[in-house]
């Protein structure tokens, strides 16, 4: 099956801890994105990558970091500097011909702070 997988489905973070959310796609897409969704709010862009070994900050990058070492993988690290990390995190990909193209989303990871 082609698609995007995210793991884990639920993740618990302790104070001061860094955690990494996984995102893998087998759609052969060049572009990948990370969004954060809070209750009653729309998706907000954290980071995006249009090609391997390159990525750009989105609207709310502070407290987050990413890497794009492989085309199919775009992990997101939520660092201890992110003071309000509780949210639903969504990874997406697109063909890379531009964000006007359809974005395909993963099932999401819900991050909770202990």
Partner 1 sequence: SQKIEQNSEALNIQEGKTATLTCNYTNYSPAYLQWYRQDPGRGPVFLLLIRENEKEKRKERLKVTFDTTLKQSLFHITASQPADSATYLCALLTGGGNKLTFGTGTQLKVEL
- Residues forming beta bridges with residue 35, ordered by sequence position: 45, 90
Q: Alpha-carbon distance 95 to 59, whole Å?
A: 22
Nearer to partner 1, 35 or 64 (CB): 35
Q: Output the smallest distance, CB 53 to partner 1, in A.
A: 18
Three-state SS string over 2-19 comes to CCEEEECCEEEECCCCCE
Q: Are 63 and 79 in contact (CB under 8 A)?
A: yes
- Only segment of 11-19, 60-68, 76-84, 90-98 that touches partner 1 (CB under 8 A): 90-98
Nearer to partner 1, 63 or 99 (CB): 99
The two three-digit tokens of residue 75, written as one number? 């992990």
Q: Is 85 in the site for partner 1 (CB under 8 A)?
A: no
- Pick from 7, 18, 28, 56: which binds partner 1 (CB under 8 A)? 56
- Pick from 2, 14, 15, 42: which binds partner 1 (CB under 8 A)? 42
Q: Alpha-carbon distance 86 to 2, whole Å?
A: 29
Interstrand relation of 31-37 and 109-113 (parallel, antiparallel or unpaired):
unpaired
- Only segment of 14-22, 65-73, 75-83, 99-107 that touches partner 1 (CB under 8 A): 99-107
**Helix, strand, or coil here: 28?**
coil
Query: Which chain residues interact with partner 1 by CB under 8 A?
Result: 4, 33, 35, 40-45, 48, 56, 58, 88, 90, 92, 98-100, 102-108, 110
């Amino acid at each position: 099956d082609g698609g995007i997988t995210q793991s884990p489905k639920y993740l618990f973070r302790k104070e001061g801890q860094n955690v990494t959310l996984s995102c893998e796609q087998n759609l052969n897409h060049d572009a990948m994105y990370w969004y954060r969704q809070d209750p009653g709010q729309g998706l907000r862009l954290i980071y995006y990558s249009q090609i391997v070994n390159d990525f750009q900050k989105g609207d709310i990058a502070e407290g987050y970091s990413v890497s794009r070492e492989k085309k199919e993988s775009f992990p997101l690290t939520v660092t201890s500097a992110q003071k309000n990390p509780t949210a639903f995190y969504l990874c997406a990909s697109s063909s890379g011909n531009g964000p006007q193209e359809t974005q395909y989303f993963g099932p999401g990871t819900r991050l909770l702070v202990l």
